[in-house]
Amino acid sequence: MSTTPGAGLDRRELTRLGPVRRAVLLPSFQFWTVLPTLALVVVVLVSAAVGLEHPSANFGTVVTWIVWWGGLLVSFVLVGRAWCLVCPIGAIPEWLQRLSPWWGSRYTAGLGLPWPRRLRNLWLPTALFVVFVFLDNGYGMSNSPRMTAGLIAVLALGAAWVSLVFERRAFCRYLCPLTAFIGTCALTSVFELRRRDPAPCRNACPTKDCYRGNARRYGCPMGEFPGGGLESNLHCILCTECVKSCPHDNIALRWRAPGRDLWAMSRPRLDGACAAAVIVGLATVVPLLALAFLPELRSLLARLLPAGVPPNDPPRLAAVVLVFGVGLGATLGLLHAASLLSRWASGSARVTTRALFTRYAYALIPVGLSKLLADLLDHAFRTWGVLSNVTSALLLDFPWNRVMPERASATDLLGPLAVYGLQVALLLGGLLWSLEALRRTAPGPAADRASGVASFLPIAGLALVLTLASLWTLGSGLL
């Protein structure tokens, strides 16, 4: 099921187009793409660190949690992990490590130690992502300018430190709290960077420059080996270093069926699958449980734990932890049960429940991603104008953002029912996408259609349940 390049794929190659080819072959390509985001992140950091503490009037919080977050969610489908290509938090430590922003340097400022073998997986990044989401929901990070600034500073310093100790972009691949989220969601992308033809890589390339680099260019900063048959977007940040370093001009950027990785990976891993399940659970099950139980749970826990001043309120923080734990446990448990039932229904002795669990988890990503997009859609349409308000406020006192605008608008572009209609369309689109991916991954011999349908039904049922959770959570305001 791995990607098999061939002559028929040429029409889908973007690197055949002159301007695209010239851009990706430009040695300073990544440097120029990082510069605009670097300038924006500096302004965001300053305004979040010293600007207004009103989250809706602070440029830093609005740009980070509305514009950046929304752009990130949309970018997964369009360009996979391309945020990592332009992320200054990953790029600047890399320049520091190489002692060069783009040209091949013989010197390095880093120790270049290999990342510990036991940590070469997505378990730690998944745990860090859960902590990241907990900080937001427990402490209100996304509506606190100071915490937003602190987060950016901690990530930047952490990335710099890790790049000085470990080789390549170890932080971006194994420690960034968003890497598991960005990597698994990037599987939905319509772009991929892959080798054109396996033959030159196997038979005529002893140097493996796409991985090791050469005197002029660097190897893959994420530690991937495109010439060895890269088959998913999980870690590919589209930096195009491999395009530049390949001596056989055998790496191409091309279109593909949207989300092909969701069903076509030949060796999906359990750590990535659990990351996918956690993302889906956080997007669908956890908000429903929080909506229903969080206040009551907090009151209940207040009898056991001493109350504090919010957000440092132990009963509430414990309630959030409990909701997270139950929600994620329920998601993993339901996915396991659906895999078990699917295996039993398929009647196939060759397939294991674990293998099904792994494949199904990836295929459910569109259900979670569409819910996260639907959440943001509501905010964008119902608090329309906030970006222009904060931009005006920033310009009044650039870049400190300490002056409150005279009037903050409270306007909406669409009514709640119209927004809900769009959310429903988005959620049903995500469901359909997941079902198509699940249909292609469900076991069952091709000759026996009944077994194929039978094995598909349990996991399709779970996809429907997760979508219902989102539909009813978002619809609760209309009831």
- Looking at residues 383 to 402 of the shown chain, list those that interact with another protein (rule: CB under 8 A): 383
Cα–Cα distance, 75 to 182 (Å, whole number): 10
Q: Is 325 in the site for another protein (CB under 8 A)?
A: no
Q: Which of 25, 74, 292, 395: binder of another protein (CB under 8 A)?
A: 292
For residue 149, CA distances in Å to 48, 376, 428 come to 5, 21, 36
Q: How far is the CB of 110 from another protein (least distance, A)?
A: 37
Q: Which of 150, 347, 353, 422: binder of another protein (CB under 8 A)?
A: 347
Q: Is 96 in the site for another protein (CB under 8 A)?
A: no
314: number of Cβ within 10 Å: 15
Q: Is 139 in the site for another protein (CB under 8 A)?
A: yes
Q: How far is the CB of 92 from another protein (least distance, A)?
A: 27
Q: b/e string for 434-445 if b means 16 or more Cβ within 10 A? A: bbbbbeebbbbe
The bridge status of strand 191-195 relative to strand 251-255 is antiparallel
Q: Which of 3, 15, 137, 184: binder of another protein (CB under 8 A)?
A: 137
Scanning 82-90, 187-195, 209-217, 455-463 for contacts with another protein by CB under 8 A, the matching segment is 455-463
Q: How far is the CB of 120 from another protein (least distance, A)?
A: 30
3-class DSSP state for residue 218?
strand
Of the two residues 123 and 381, which places its CB atom closer to another protein in the complex?
381
Q: How far is the CB of 100 from another protein (least distance, A)?
A: 39
Beta bridge partners, 287, equal none
Q: Is 177 in the site for another protein (CB under 8 A)?
A: no
Of the two residues 224 and 375, which places its CB atom closer to another protein in the complex?
375
Q: How far is the CB of 350 from another protein (least distance, A)?
A: 16
Copy the structure tokens of residue 16: 């055949």
Scanning 217-225, 234-242, 356-364, 374-382 for contacts with another protein by CB under 8 A, the matching segment is 374-382
Q: Which of 153, 165, 408, 422: binder of another protein (CB under 8 A)?
A: 408
Scanning 102-110, 157-165, 278-286, 391-399 for contacts with another protein by CB under 8 A, the matching segment is 278-286
Copy the structure tokens of residue 190: 């319509």
Q: Which of 38, 40, 322, 465: binder of another protein (CB under 8 A)?
A: 465
The DSSP letter of residue 167 is: S
Of the two residues 209 and 313, which places its CB atom closer to another protein in the complex?
313
CB 353 within 8 A of CB 332: no
Copy the structure tokens of residue 52: 């207004």
Q: Is 420 in the site for another protein (CB under 8 A)?
A: yes
3-class DSSP state for residue 164?
helix
The DSSP letter of residue 67 is: I
**In terms of Cα–Cα distance, which of 264, 270, 191 is closest to 2?**
264
Burial of 117 per CB tally in 10 Å (0-12, 13-18, 19+): exposed
Q: Is 321 in the site for another protein (CB under 8 A)?
A: no
> Is the peptide bond between 36 and the residue preceding it cis, with omega within 30 degrees of 0?
no
Q: Where are the beta strands (DSSP E) in 313-407?
A: none
Footprint of another protein on 218-277 (CB under 8 A): none
Q: Is 349 in the site for another protein (CB under 8 A)?
A: no
Q: Is 463 in the site for another protein (CB under 8 A)?
A: yes
Cα–Cα distance, 229 to 246 (Å, whole number): 14
Of the two residues 97 and 383, which places its CB atom closer to another protein in the complex?
383
